[in-house]
Structure 1
Amino acid sequence: MPSILLRSPGGRRPGVRAGTLTLCGAALSLVAGCSNLDGTYPSTSSVIPNAKVQLTAAKAYTFEQIALTAGAGAILYLVYDPLAPNWSIQEVRLDDRTYRMALKLKRFHIGGSGEASQIFRRRAEQLRRETGAASYRVLEYTEGVESGTPQAQRVAEGAVELVAGAFPLAEPVSAPTTPRSNFYRD
């Protein structure tokens, strides 16, 4: 049975983010504090006080507006996750010398769409160094787009063979080409 490894492009295994741990710690602290309260809350008024924060002489925000903005920002951060790597790698070891890698671009991203071949080659080079192989050979490589809900996701997949003896440098991986359109003719 081949082993499956999930890795981020930098070679680190994905784990729990520090922000998630902080959020869980804060939630546990609030829940622990609730055991000391007596009665039903809110008793007659809302949980958020009906007060304002006066920023300037002409501008003030209610606590409700501040709470809604903070909540929307937290949801946006969790969906977009700006600190997560753009590409995730699922790696399967087929035998002692052959690895298959599947790369997926995160759904909500800014940039990084054309990095798949670079990340694929970088991970192949890391495998070569980790195993002590002389070089690597790209057996196959494809890029595409997977349709899905809520939006499509760029994917790439390929296979790499690690070569133990002297072998020419790895074959270059080029992006797939599309035929030129004859739409613009002179």
Structure 2
Amino acid sequence: MRWMVLAPFLLITGCAADNTTKMSVEMFNQVGDSLGSIEVTEEAEGVSFAILLEGLTPGEHGLHIHEKGDCTPPDFTGAGNHFNPDEKKHGLLHPEGAHAGDLPNIIVDENGVVDVEITAPNVTLKKGKKNSLLHKDGTSIIITEAKDDGMTQPSGDSGSRIACGKITEEEAKKADKKEVQKEEE
């Protein structure tokens, strides 16, 4: 019932010129296989990430938003550094942190699945804002092989990048088109 109530609102605001409110980010591993998607939604308290992925190594992994929407495999270095428009230190535990793109670690179960929702309070999907994930080059979501320790500069000693998904205007437009198609059906 909740979806039926929200769907018209999302359609109206999602199609407005500069106000994307929801999009799906497909995540890929280092060889280009899809791991599933992350539903990214503008909320009053920031941007929420509903993560449902499979095919990852069980255990704790770092999760970050990076400054560029480039997921060129196999190392995803084109994504750049963590998204940090306020030039803060890295780490959710750092007294001078955190980057806007620092997110809590995720825990992948013994079957290689992660199903969790988290919120990034210091970012938005609203274009034109300093902390917008939809700036000129877009941004990306990166999963690392190890957990982020929350303190070590510049990236939490979390190891190699093992998965990536792009948050770009192009991806947002695809999400808007899908939303319109759902409403027309």
TM-score (norm 1): 0.29
User: Which has a greater percent of helix?
Assistant: 1
Q: Which has the higher contact order (CA 8 A, sep 6+)?
A: 2
TM-score normalised by length of structure 2: 0.29
Structure with bigger gyration radius: 1
Point out the structure with the larger strand share.
Answer: 2
